[in-house]
């Protein structure tokens, strides 16, 4: 192994946001390159998944992803009242591949060791539990090792099911606030993507009486949703423009952008995707148009709540997941009271909590 580890200065990158550290590790012999970003660890060691993606146009795109995603994890963990900071891993995949090799996962393990426990990672887009079993051969800093150390088994359904529960309760909070309705009966929801989170979300919504419009690149998943839920199928290009009450982006990010904004007919945006807004100013655009946006890092926190709750029961984890609805109710109410967009309100709550944590830390240092 010829692993080269460096700590590039990305402070000039447009997506840099006072990140504490960025690590880059490479091994050309196995076509391995990874970026690991730690955004803020004021509340505790970094937590955030590992993405394998072969579609990055260049290094700037991969860096943008890891910087934005790690910042999102800081905000997600803080708003969910979890004692962890934000971090993220992006493996720059070989073009045409969809999953990492065992050699790449072992190389990742060695790169994680360089951070000496400041960050722990696990599954995300393009990776699965078995990948981290391999990485765990050389590092302790992956979630599967934490589960093994605790001597417990993962809860049934895993992070995806808890994420789906969180989206569901968050969407219900948005519907109650915007439409004045306490259940989903007759609510029209357009769901983009039918993956491990979105499909159980559709199950919850269907059981609660919602009418579904769905799309996915995998036509087998679409056909299943049509048969099981009576959903209406449309193409991926058409989904965001549907005349529905709720648009639920559950695929990759950037759906809400300058090009798509005028197409949106939904009154609410509430979905599982990370970084749904292409630019931060799009939150203000939605606010001015009267579209209620459930900030992505607030509503999709169910998975990370499950991930960091090693050893807790299903009931304990679900109690925290259900708080996502309560948190969003607070964000919506404050947005109305202050006439500020929901993204700014959620960000403000996070910054208030981070500042409080820094003050507590400073007080403790002085006391010592």
**What is the DSSP annotation of 113-174?**
HTTTTSEEB---TT--HHHHHHHTTT-S-BHHHHHHHHT--PPTTHHHHHHHHHHHHHHHHH
First-to-last alpha carbon distance for the chain, in angstroms, is 44
Check residue 180 and give left, alpha or beta (phi > 0: left; psi -120 to 50: alpha). Answer: left
d(CA 232, CA 327) in angstroms, rounded, equals: 31
Residue in 33, 76, 88, 192 annotated catalytic: 88
Residue 340 is among the residues annotated as catalytic for this protein: no
| Four-residue CA torsion sign, 295, 35, 353, 315 | positive
Structure tokens at 300: 């999709």
d(CA 92, CA 53) in angstroms, rounded, equals: 6
d(CA 220, CA 222) in angstroms, rounded, equals: 5
Structure tokens at 252: 């990759």
Catalytic (active-site) positions: 88
């Amino acid at each position: 192994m010829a692993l080269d580890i460096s700590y590039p200065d990305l402070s000039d990158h447009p997506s840099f946001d006072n990140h504490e550290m960025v690590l880059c590790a490479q091994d050309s012999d196995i076509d391995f390159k990874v970026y690991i970003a730690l955004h803020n660890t004021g509340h505790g060691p970094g937590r955030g998944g590992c993405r394998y993606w072969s579609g990055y146009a260049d290094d700037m795109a991969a860096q943008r992803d890891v910087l934005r995603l790690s910042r999102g994890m800081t905000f997600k963990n803080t708003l969910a009242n979890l004692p962890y900071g934000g971090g993220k891993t992006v493996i720059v995949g070989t073009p045409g591949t969809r999953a990492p090799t065992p050699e790449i996962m072992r190389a990742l393990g060695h790169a994680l060791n360089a951070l000496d426990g400041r960050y722990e990672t696990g599954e995300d887009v393009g990776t699965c539990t078995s990948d981290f079993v391999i990485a765990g051969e050389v590092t302790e800093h992956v979630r599967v090792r934490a589960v093994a150390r605790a001597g417990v088994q993962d809860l049934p359904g895993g992070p995806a099911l808890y994420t789906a529960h969180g989206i569901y309760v968050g969407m219900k909070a948005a519907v109650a606030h915007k439409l004045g309705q306490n259940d989903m009966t007759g609510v029209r929801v357009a769901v983009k993507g039918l993956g491990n989170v979105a499909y159980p979300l559709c199950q919850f919504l269907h059981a609660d009486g919602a009418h579904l419009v769905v799309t996915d690149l995998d036509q087998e998943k679409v056909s299943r949703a049509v048969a099981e839920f009576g959903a209406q199928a449309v193409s991926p290009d058409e989904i965001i423009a549907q005349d529905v009450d709720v648009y639920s982006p559950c695929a990759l990010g950037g759906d809400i952008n300058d090009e798509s904004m005028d197409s949106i007919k939904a009154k609410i945006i509430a979905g599982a995707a990370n970084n749904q807004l292409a630019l931060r100013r799009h939150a203000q655009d939605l606010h001015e148009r009267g579209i209620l946006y459930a900030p992505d890092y607030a509503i999709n926190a169910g998975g990370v709540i499950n991930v960091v709750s090693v050893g807790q029961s299903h009931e304990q984890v679900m109690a925290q997941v259900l708080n996502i609805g309560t948190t969003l109710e607070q964000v919506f109410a404050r947005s109305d009271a202050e006439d500020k967009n929901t993204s700014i309100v959620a960000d403000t709550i996070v910054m208030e909590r981070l500042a409080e944590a820094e003050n507590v830390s400073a007080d403790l240092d002085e006391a010592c």
